[in-house]
Amino acid sequence: MQTKHYCDGKLPNCISVHFNLEDLTKTNSGVSNIPQDNSVIANLRKVAEHILEPVRKHFEQKVTIHSGYRSPAVNKAVGGSNNSQHSRGEAVDFRVQGHTVHEVAMWIKTNLIFDQLILEHFLPNSPHSGWVHCSYSHNNRNHALTKFKGSQIYHPGILLAPPTAKVK
């Protein structure tokens, strides 16, 4: 795939070569979502550099961002956690064109340094369901989880199916 550079690095809204501020701040909430703090922009650049760009380079496909930065008002409107890394610009929810979310999550788990990686709203018999949530911060834990659609439980690891209960 021929690489088309999205940003030249000199434009004020460039976050990385292939991602701009609009990509990482878009919302359907109807609430303003422009970062007011330069530290948020710096965090978005780190997420793009350490997560999004390596994913795009490896899979050689478009990365579709569903949620990046969330202002406090947007985070509240979408029911996000009060301590969401999205509100600090440290997290992104995305999918990669032509690849399952499980495949992308496994590649990240094996090849990148991250804080938290979640295979979110995944349905075991629907490989294109859900999305990848990945964060990058100053104190990365490489914490991988799976949350299946319809469940509130976060299971350790990147799973294809929920663990079965053990019979005693």
Strand 116-122 relative to strand 63-67, pairing? unpaired
Residue 162 lies inside a defined structural domain of this protein: no
- Is the pLDDT assigned to residue 40 strictly greater than 60? yes
Whether 11 is in a domain gets the answer no
Both structure tokens of 87: 């509100």
State the Cα–Cα distance between residues 136 and 12, nearest whole angstrom. 22
What integer pLDDT is reported at residue 3 of this predicted model?
A: 44
Residue 48's identity, in one-letter code, is A
Other beta carbons less than 10 A from residue 52's beta carbon:
26
146 DSSP 8-state letter: E
- The CATH code of the domain that includes 152 is 3.30.1380.10
Q: Does 8 have pLDDT greater than 60?
A: no
- Condensed to tens digits (0 to 9), the pLDDT of residues 51-106 reads 999 999 999 999 999 999 999 999 999 888 999 999 999 999 999 999 999 999 99
3-class secondary structure, 158: coil
Q: Quote the CA–CA distance of 137 and 29 in Å, as a whole number.
A: 26
Total-model pTM: 0.90
Range of 142's domain? 21-156
Q: Find residue 65's DSSP bridge partners.
A: 94
Which residue, among 66, 161, 158, 69, has the nearest Cα to 111 in the 3D structure?
Answer: 158
- Residues 112 and 136 sit within 8 Å (Cβ to Cβ): no
Task: Give the pLDDT band (50/70/90) at residue 167.
Answer: low
For 29-142, list the strands marked E by DSSP: 63-67, 91-96, 116-122, 131-135
In a domain, 89, yes or no: yes
5 falls within a domain? no
Domain count for the chain: 1
Categorize the per-residue pLDDT at 1 as very low, low, confident or very high, splitting at 50, 70 and 90.
very low
Domain assignment present for residue 166? The answer is no
Give the per-residue pLDDT at 112.
98
Q: Is 92 in a helix, a strand, or coil?
A: strand
DSSP string, 28-57: SSSS-----SHHHHHHHHHHIIIIIHHHHH
User: Are 129 and 120 in contact, with CB atoms under 8 Å apart?
Assistant: no
Question: Does 6 fall in a domain?
Answer: no
Q: At CA 44, angle to CA 2 and CA 26, rounded to 5? A: 80
